[in-house]
Structure 1
Amino acid sequence: AAQGENARELQSHILTHLGLGIPLVTTQVVGRDRYIEWVSWMANVATSIEKVLQEIRNLQRTEIAEVAEEFDVEKQVGSSTMAHKRNPITAENACGLARVVRAMMLPTWENALLWHERDLANSSAERFTLSHSVVLLDDVMNKCNRVLSKLVVDKENMLRNIENQNGLVMAEKIMLALVDNGIPRDEAHEVLRAASMEAVAKGMHLEDVCAMTPTISATFDADELHALFDPNSHLGVSGELVDEAVSLARLAIE
């Protein structure tokens, strides 16, 4: 109002010079909905990163041990009492900080409730929520990059974990192969369910039980059945999906 008829021209000149968009209508205190969107985006990114790092932490557990955060045996100590421990400290730290980024959402929502679109109750909170969200997310992203760039993958243990299931993880593969060979799906499911229960009860490998199951042995010979239990035959188009996801991510970064 103080700028009179030239107000919009002045606003346009200044915001264009700063490379900012020109809002249609504003109040003295800018509406906080844009900050809600911004902090929400950061919280969402932090959450996505935490999902990845949380999975790595779980897969590093001794009873799984399929992937692990790199551990410098010369410099790192896992525990002050249990000398054997190799904790995923970077992933663990990033997961904790991601929770703090998400926690910034509540005060950000509350800051949208300005009295008569004018009070500054939001100001003190935003001195923390906005700056800290950015800094923390940057740290979370850097820690994630550090973990992923040096991720240790134990392929042999992955295969051992599959084999420890005595072939049960391939039950779906066998069922679908039966369907492809003309067996009704409900019947194929029941055949594999019964075979799986028998394998568990008797501590047998599912392939051995399948070989003795009439419906299955009449459909596949020994070599065909054995090939179906090869984990590599159960990958489908996983490789293509990974390549597409990586390409999409690279496009976004570039």
Structure 2
Amino acid sequence: MLTDHIIKLGIGVIENLRFYPENIRRNLNLLRGLNMGEAVMIELAKRGVGRQEAHEIVRSSAMEAHETGKHFKEVLLSKPDVANYLSEEDINSLVDPDKYIGTAVEQVEAVVQKLKRT
């Protein structure tokens, strides 16, 4: 009975879930690109920067952006060590939350594989 009740509650939550894209966008923009640091770090590592160095580049850039109030993208564009690996177009794409899906594909694949096994 408790399990049934919990399932019904969960269904109710999902059925009544509402998204407000304008609020999501506003909240993402409040972070001035800092939420996209992981995407930048991963791409730097893919392009030949060591993981530790990529982490330090992103960390120091994020700190500078936070301390100066600049957008993360603006700080990245000013860094010669970033320009050696990423173009302005690359950086614009990497800090665009609309283009970053993180591990969503892997998560969906894991669910699909699990469902196939059951």
Structure 1 position 244, deviation (Å): 5.4
Describe the superposition over 1:68-113 as per-residue Cα deviations: whole angstroms up to 9, x where unpaired. xxxxxxxxxxxxxxxxxxxxxxxxxxxxxxxxxxxxxxxxxxxxxx
Q: CA deviation at 1:215?
A: 0.6
Task: Report how far residue 182 of structure 1 moved.
Answer: 1.2
Aligned to 2:11: 145
Instruction: Name structure 1 gaps, 5 residues minimum.
Output: 1-133
> Structure 1 residues 183, 206: closer, same or farther in 2, change over 3 A?
same
Matched residues, number = 118
What is the identity percentage for the equivalent residue pairs of Structure 1 and Structure 2? 30
Mapping of residues 101-180 of structure 1, within 5 Å:
134=1, 136-180=2-46
Render the CA deviation track for 1:187-210: whole Å, top value 9, x for unaligned.
121111111111000111100000
User: Aligned-pair RMSD on alpha carbons?
Assistant: 2.5
Structure 1: distance between partners of 2:109 and 2:77: 37
- TM (norm. structure 2) is 0.82
SS of alignment partner, residue 152 of structure 1? coil
Structure 1 counterpart of 2:96, from 224, 230, 242? 230
Per-residue CA shift, 1:114-143, capped at 9, x if unaligned? xxxxxxxxxxxxxxxxxxxx2x33222212
Give the corresponding residue for 1:245.
111
Structure of higher RCO (CA pairs closer than 8 Å, 6+ residues apart): 2
Q: Which has the higher helix share?
A: 2
Deviation above 4 Å: which 4+ runs of structure 1? 246-249
Alpha-carbon distance in 1 for matches of 2:33, 2:106: 25
Counterparts of 1:248 and 1:172, CA distance in 2: 27
Tell me the residue number matched to 2:67: 201
Rg larger for: 1
Structure 2: 5+ residue stretches without partners: none
